[in-house]
């Protein structure tokens, strides 16, 4: 009781001395009495207020930012000593002349054995929005004070005060504010008809800057500085902190903090304030947002394109249509639009992009569609009713819903104004594609020719296995690809599992299937499109491929070698499909109608989608005839091109050059036959015996290699190079003692001979073992 009385005496002693000595009553001024939990939690840095009801008192220009009705009330017991403060306010926006109105009432009171004090503050505010960047507001305050100290006659009075404020937005997310308080000579008249001057004329400035989810506020008055920070942790949760310092009182500072919670147009704010001289305070405010009679925007026109299920991922980042929106509010608004089509859309999503519309301006807003996998179950074209949700962020987020009509196509439908759309159908992760590829490669893992790179062999095996499954090209008689492309009609493209199920497809269907298989094993794909047709190419990564293979089967595009394949030739030999693809590429490569794009480029705009499997069981049978024919043709072609180049180029030893070229590309049998033929003609040739040993060494037939190196050494017993070759083969055959003995002899004959790491390491190990 003693502490409460002391605080009360101090508080009302200030009021009394102010009233009689300074001719200035202690009324509910925004710089001295708290108004709102949110401003308090932000250190009262509210001269450039954000969208908050307290702008009515802190800066009346802030009312112009409102485009919805708002009612708010708050209450606090100051300093825990029975000093009660309560407030109610209402802000009403108006569509006429850009004017907003505000009404407020605040009461400060104390009643105990020593004092009976009351103060009522009635406010009327008006604010106008000028071109959405400039706002001006005025506040007229009527203040009534009643003071009845014990054993003293009652004192009461009434007075008026005028405040003005301005807000300016120089650029996005920054507001500058200024306030003038008690403009002119404002007096309070008490019951004895004596006039006392209100608080003197004061100024304050501040700014409010929004950076992502964080807001920074700062205000400066004649005798204090205020700083606040607000962080939007969640769409319905705010965290706040503030600091204020009084320049006139030494060591006078206040720390504050709080939170704000918003749910379904109800806002609850809490603030805690630590006072360095008096007791700490807790503040609570509650506000209710009431919808406006008219929304801040008007939908003038809606354009919606047909919905193609295979492109549903594309529609989330590339618009499916446009909404013509006019901003009829007096504030710049951010607008976004979403098309909804349950059960084929993902609910509870925000627009992909937001667009600013100035007051009284009109803009076309892209319309996005967030589809789900369910849309890939649509098997027939059907007209549908859709909902267009247009989101507006003016002062609050509002959603305007309108209805529209469009056509939802079946899942395989597409148009070809952009050939990259084919990328949406190429899905290498399909379960049936993965199973087909793995079983195909498993069947032929022992039948891999040495003269072709492994990824190249896989591409040939998959192509030939598709032919073995009786997959064939079949043109659509009603909608040929060229006619559809020319007339921009609706086409249908089969997904990979559907083509495997039907075993037939148009050129686009077969490209989708073969490209999905090759992407599954990591090959890069490019699509080649020209009027009336399309085919594909693939590229092999990180492989040492001979220029003979590149010359025979590749083409150069963008300084890289690609291997064309005509997918409609499935059922025949791969080399024939490759030849057709090369011919088409060469015929069109310099013509403007030709379009080539990589699958990764297509996927950037049209991501692949996963169709439901059309087939669950697929039997892959090993094939021999068609694959062996491909291998034989490629082997003959490779031999022919090597022989032809050998004839046209000059070599010191053409026979050795030919044989070692065969060996270098993996044609070991042809290389060995070349040297054997020459050895029959010249049985004492050291060079041919040595090269024949080299061929077998490359083929990893180390016994045969050793045999011919020994034959060569018999013809040249003191040749250290031959000894080195023999020692290497002995090392491969784990005959280390003999390998080391011959290697040492070679080093004695030629001390400058390059050392061999494996043999030198063996030599060191032998020495260490002997020393041990």
Same-domain pairing of 387 and 260: no
In which band, very low, low, confident or very high, does the pLDDT at 184 lie, cut at 50, 70 and 90? low
List CB contacts of 21: < 8 A, sequence separation 6 or more: none
DSSP 432: H
| 62 in any annotated domain | yes
- The residue-averaged pLDDT of 680-691 equals 90
| 645 in any annotated domain | no
Same-domain pairing of 271 and 324: no
Most confident by average pLDDT, 401-410, 620-629, 761-770? 401-410
Are the C-beta atoms of residues 242 and 255 closer than 8 Å to each other?
yes
What the block records as the tokens of 121 is 């503050």
Pick the more confident residue, 83 or 588. Answer: 588
| 129 in any annotated domain | yes
CA distances from 480 to 199, 493, 505, 507 (A): 87, 12, 12, 10
Which range has the worst mean pLDDT, 217-226, 362-371, 388-397, 560-569? 388-397
Same-domain pairing of 202 and 343: no
pLDDT at 663 over 70: yes
Looking at residue 229, its pLDDT comes to: 95
- What is d(CA 588, CA 585) in angstroms, rounded to the nearest whole number? 5
Burial 368-392 (b: 16+ CB within 10 A, else e): bbbbeeebbebeeeeeeebebbbbb
Element (H, E) at 662: helix 654-664
Looking at residue 28, its pLDDT comes to: 39
Looking at residue 96, its pLDDT comes to: 57
pLDDT at 622 over 80: no
Which among 376, 393, 411 is the end of a domain? 411
- The residue-averaged pLDDT of 295-317 equals 92
Which range has the worst mean pLDDT, 300-304, 327-331, 394-398, 681-685? 394-398
Looking at residue 62, its pLDDT comes to: 84
What the block records as the tokens of 701 is 């037939």
List CB contacts of 55: < 8 A, sequence separation 6 or more: 46, 49, 61, 62, 63, 65
| 462 in any annotated domain | yes
Find the angle CA(199)-CA(88)-CA(31) to the nearest 5 degrees.
25
What the block records as the tokens of 168 is 């300016």
Looking at residue 197, its pLDDT comes to: 65
- What is d(CA 349, CA 345) in angstroms, rounded to the nearest whole number? 10
Predicted TM-score (pTM) of this structure: 0.62
**Interhelix angle 757-771/736-749, nearest 10 degrees:** 110
Using CA atoms in the order 751, 754, 756, 761, what is the torsion angle rounded to 10 degrees?
Answer: 50
Same-domain pairing of 141 and 254: yes
Same-domain pairing of 475 and 434: yes
Q: State the total domains in the chain.
A: 4
pLDDT at 378 over 50: yes
pLDDT at 6 over 50: no
| 691 in any annotated domain | yes
- Cβ burial of 336 (10 Å; 0-12, 13-18, 19+) is buried
- What is d(CA 230, CA 737) in angstroms, rounded to the nearest whole number? 81
DSSP 739: H
Which among 411, 440, 475 is the end of a domain? 411
pLDDT tens column, 237-269: 999 999 998 887 776 788 999 999 988 778 899
| 638 in any annotated domain | no
Looking at residue 155, its pLDDT comes to: 67
- What is d(CA 134, CA 672) in angstroms, rounded to the nearest whole number? 91
| 581 in any annotated domain | yes
Are the C-beta atoms of residues 511 and 533 closer than 8 Å to each other?
no
Same-domain pairing of 192 and 136: yes
* SS3 category, 52: coil
pLDDT at 71 over 90: no
- The residue-averaged pLDDT of 143-148 equals 76
Output phi, psi for 387, to 5 deg: -110, 130
Same-domain pairing of 729 and 678: yes
- What is d(CA 293, CA 300) in angstroms, rounded to the nearest whole number? 18
CA distances from 341 to 169, 325, 370, 494 (A): 39, 21, 9, 24
CA distances from 308 to 424, 505, 512, 513 (A): 11, 20, 18, 20
Domain with 139 in it: what CATH number? 2.40.160.60
- What is d(CA 755, CA 177) in angstroms, rounded to the nearest whole number? 83
Same-domain pairing of 494 and 445: yes
Looking at residue 695, its pLDDT comes to: 93
Domain with 603 in it: what CATH number? 3.10.620
Same-domain pairing of 455 and 577: yes
* SS3 category, 311: helix
pLDDT at 136 over 80: yes
pLDDT at 278 over 80: no
Domain with 746 in it: what CATH number? 1.25.40.10
Domain with 381 in it: what CATH number? 2.60.40
In which band, very low, low, confident or very high, does the pLDDT at 27 lie, cut at 50, 70 and 90? very low
355-357 and 382-393 beta bridge pairing: unpaired
| 309 in any annotated domain | yes
Are the C-beta atoms of residues 670 and 639 closer than 8 Å to each other?
yes
Looking at residue 370, its pLDDT comes to: 93
Q: How many CA atoms lie within 13 A of 376 on its CB side?
A: 17
- What is d(CA 719, CA 334) in angstroms, rounded to the nearest whole number? 86
For the stretch 120-126, contacts whose Cβ atoms lie closer than 8 Å and that sit 24 or more positions apart, written own/partner, are: 120/144, 121/27, 121/28, 123/56, 123/57, 123/89, 125/56, 125/60, 125/63, 125/101, 126/60, 126/63, 126/99, 126/100, 126/101, 126/102
Looking at residue 360, its pLDDT comes to: 86
Same-domain pairing of 679 and 766: yes
116-130 and 134-147 beta bridge pairing: antiparallel
- Longest pairwise C-alpha distance within the chain: 142
What the block records as the tokens of 506 is 């148009």
Average pLDDT, the chain: 83
pLDDT tens column, 575-618: 999 999 999 999 999 999 999 999 999 999 999 999 998 777 67
Which among 627, 661, 684 is the end of a domain? 627
- What is d(CA 276, CA 278) in angstroms, rounded to the nearest whole number? 6
pLDDT tens column, 447-494: 678 888 889 999 999 999 999 889 999 986 555 555 555 456 899 999
Same-domain pairing of 467 and 337: no
Q: What range does the domain containing 368 cover?
A: 297-411
Same-domain pairing of 43 and 164: yes
């Amino acid at each position: 009781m003693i502490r409460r009385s002391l605080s009360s005496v101090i508080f009302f002693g200030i009021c009394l001395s102010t009233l009689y000595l300074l001719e200035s009553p202690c009324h509910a001024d925004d710089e001295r009495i708290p108004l709102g939990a949110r401003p308090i939690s932000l250190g009262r840095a509210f001269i450039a207020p954000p969208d908050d009801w307290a702008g009515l008192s802190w800066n009346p220009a802030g009312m112009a930012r409102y485009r919805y009705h708002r009612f708010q009330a708050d209450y606090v017991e100051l300093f825990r000593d029975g000093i009660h403060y309560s407030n109610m306010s209402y802000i009403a926006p108006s569509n006429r002349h850009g004017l907003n109105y505000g009404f407020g009432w605040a009461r400060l009171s104390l009643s105990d054995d020593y004092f009976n004090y009351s103060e009522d503050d009635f406010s009327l505010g008006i604010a106008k929005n000028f071109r959405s960047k400039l706002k001006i507001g005025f506040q007229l305050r009527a203040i009534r004070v009643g003071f009845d100290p014990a054993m003293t006659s009652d004192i009461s009075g009434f007075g008026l005060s005028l405040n003005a404020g301005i807000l300016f937005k120089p650029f996005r997310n920054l507001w500058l504010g200024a306030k003038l308080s008690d403009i002119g000579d404002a007096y309070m008249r008490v019951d004895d008809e004596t006039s006392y001057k209100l608080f003197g004329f004061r100024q304050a400035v501040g700014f409010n800057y929004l950076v992502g989810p964080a807001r920074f506020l700062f205000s400066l008055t004649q005798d204090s500085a205020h700083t606040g920070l607000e962080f939007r942790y969640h769409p319905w949760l705010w965290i706040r902190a503030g600091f204020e310092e009084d320049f006139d009182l030494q060591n006078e500072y206040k720390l504050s903090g709080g939170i704000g919670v918003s749910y379904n147009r109800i806002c609850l704010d809490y603030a805690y304030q630590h006072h360095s001289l008096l007791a700490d305070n807790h503040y609570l405010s509650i506000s209710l947002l009431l919808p406006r009679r008219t929304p801040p925007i008007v939908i003038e026109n809606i354009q919606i394109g047909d919905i193609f299920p295979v492109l549903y991922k594309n529609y989330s980042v590339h618009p499916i249509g446009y909404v013509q929106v006019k901003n009829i509010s007096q504030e710049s608004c951010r607008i976004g639009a979403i098309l909804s089509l349950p059960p084929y859309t993902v609910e509870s999503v925000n627009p992909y992009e937001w667009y600013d519309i100035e007051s009284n301006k009109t803009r076309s807003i892209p319309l996005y569609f967030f589809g789900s996998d369910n849309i890939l179950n649509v098997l027939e074209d059907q007209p549908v009713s859709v909902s267009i949700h247009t989101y507006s962020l003016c002062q609050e987020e509002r959603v305007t819903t309108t209805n529209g009509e469009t056509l939802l196509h079946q899942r395989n439908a597409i148009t070809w104004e952009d050939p990259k759309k084919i990328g949406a159908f190429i899905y290498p992760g399909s379960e049936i594609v993965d199973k087909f590829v793995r079983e195909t490669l498993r069947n032929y893992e022992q039948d891999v020719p040495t003269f072709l790179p492994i990824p190249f062999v896989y591409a040939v095996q998959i192509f030939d296995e598709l032919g073995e499954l009786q997959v064939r090209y079949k043109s659509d008689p009603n909608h040929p690809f060229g006619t559809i492309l020319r007339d921009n009609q609706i086409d249908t493209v089969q997904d990979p599992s559907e083509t495997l199920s039907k075993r037939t497809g148009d050129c686009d269907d077969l490209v989708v299937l073969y490209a999905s298989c090759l992407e599954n094993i990591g090959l890069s794909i490019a699509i080649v499109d020209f009027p009336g047709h399309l085919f594909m190419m693939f590229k092999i990564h990180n492989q040492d491929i001979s220029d003979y293979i590149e010359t025979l089967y590749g083409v150069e595009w963008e300084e890289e070698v690609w291997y064309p394949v005509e997918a409609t030739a499935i059922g025949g030999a791969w080399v024939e499909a490759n030849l057709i693809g090369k011919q088409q590429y060469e015929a069109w490569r310099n013509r403007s109608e030709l379009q080539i794009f990589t699958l990764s480029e297509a996927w950037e705009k049209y991501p692949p989608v996963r169709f439901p499997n059309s087939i669950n069981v697929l039997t892959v049978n090993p094939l021999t005839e068609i694959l062996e024919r491909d291998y034989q043709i490629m082997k003959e072609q490779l031999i022919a091109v090597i022989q032809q180049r050998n004839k046209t180029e000059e070599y010191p030893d053409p026979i050795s050059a030919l044989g070692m070229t065969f060996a270098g590309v993996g044609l070991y049998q042809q290389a060995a036959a070349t040297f054997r033929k020459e050895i029959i003609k010249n049985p004492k040739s050291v060079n041919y015996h040595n090269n024949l040993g080299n061929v077998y060494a490359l083929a990893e037939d180390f016994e045969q290699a050793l045999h011919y190196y020994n034959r060569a050494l018999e013809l040249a017993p003191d040749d250290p190079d031959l000894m080195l070759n023999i020692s290497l083969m002995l090392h491969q055959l784990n005959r280390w003692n003999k390998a080391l003995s011959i290697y040492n002899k070679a080093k004695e004959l030629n001390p400058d001979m390059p050392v061999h790491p494996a043999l030198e390491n063996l030599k060191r190990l032998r020495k260490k073992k002997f020393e041990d």
